Amino acid sequence: MKKIYPLILLVMLSLSSCAEDLDDNLKAAVTTQFNFTHNWNGLPVTAADFNTVKFANENSDSLSIERLRYVISDLTFTREHGEQLIIEGHHLIDVSEDIGLVYSPELEIPTGLYTNVSFTFGLNNEYNAQNHLDLNSVSFNVPEMLGGGYHYMQMDGKFIAASGEEVGYNYHSIRAVDNPGSNPTFPQDTFFTVDLGAINLENNATFEVKMDISEWYKNPNLWDLNELHTVLMPNSEAQILMRENGQSVFSLGTVTQ
């Protein structure tokens, strides 16, 4: 019997020790999933809505969408004192092909209060200059004469021009560039941060990230497709307008956990 007492004591101490760790040092980590949904002024949009002239932008241009794909990067969870947990890398969303609409980062996130969840629309300049085999493989590149790197977004479709004819448009967002050629210059960054807001992460969480496509055409710059519908990649002014309009495109939808 004397031998059993030390054993019981040891077990009690072990259990007590575990409890302290869980409370004070070890935070549980949870998985996150980001579901990208798309709408036009609140009406849901999927690939099934593509290829038909069924949308009207703020400038009253009737238009279709035939191709929509974009890249996001550096998903970031920010704590109260500015500490950031950054999931490095990028994720391509191709609405037209129903590819990448769900993004499930491998990295698990500690539970707790985060003052902001954010991501980069497009790629920051340093990352954009790197070689990304997956983006090369789907021809998402920007020509070297325009600085190289990758598209941030490729939205193609057709609109009814003022002449009444159906005309193709290519709303392609890239890093704004001037002086195309061997020594291009870059007037302003055009990737931007999308803030989704605060979250108290308690369990595995699913975030809905909503893109209101109509916002690309209206806020704050009223977009006239008759004026700006193609060859926008070498047009730095158009790229800066896209960046400005992009600020109100994304919002946080439902969060479940």
Nearer to other proteins, 32 or 173 (CB): 173
Number of Cβ within 10 Å of residue 73's Cβ equals: 22
Nearer to other proteins, 153 or 205 (CB): 153
Residue 241 and residue 33: Cα distance in Å, rounded?
31
C-alpha distances out from residue 139 to 67, 86, 133, 150, Å: 13, 27, 10, 9
Q: Which is nearer to other proteins, 141 or 226 (CB)?
A: 141
Write down the least CB distance from residue 88 to other proteins, Å: 19
- For the bound state, the minimum distance from the C-beta of residue 36 to other proteins, rounded and expressed in Å, comes to 21
Q: How far apart are CA 8 and CA 12, in angstroms?
A: 6
Work out the angle at residue 94's Cα, subtended by the Cα atoms of residues 91 and 95, and round it to the nearest 5 degrees: 130
Residues 90, 73: contact at Cβ < 8 Å?
A: yes
Provide, rounded to whole angstroms, the least separation between the CB of residue 168 and other proteins: 3
Q: For 44, phi and psi rounded to 5 degrees?
A: -55, 140
Closer residue to other proteins, CB minimum distance, 158 or 210: 158
**Min. distance of Cβ 62 from other proteins in angstroms?**
14
Contact of 253 with 210, CB cutoff 8 Å: yes
Neighbours of 83 (CB within 10 A): 10
Q: Which residues bind other proteins (CB under 8 A)?
A: 50-52, 66-67, 131, 133-134, 136-139, 141, 143-145, 148, 156-158, 165-170, 230-231, 233-234
Dihedral sign from CA coordinates of 250, 251, 254, 256: positive
**Minimum distance from residue 219 beta carbon to other proteins (Å):** 24
41 vs 141, beta carbon nearer other proteins: 141
Closer of 44 and 168 to other proteins (Cβ): 168
Question: How many angstroms separate the CA atoms of 12 and 18, rounded?
Answer: 10
- We find the least distance from the C-beta atom of residue 157 to other proteins, in angstroms, to be 6
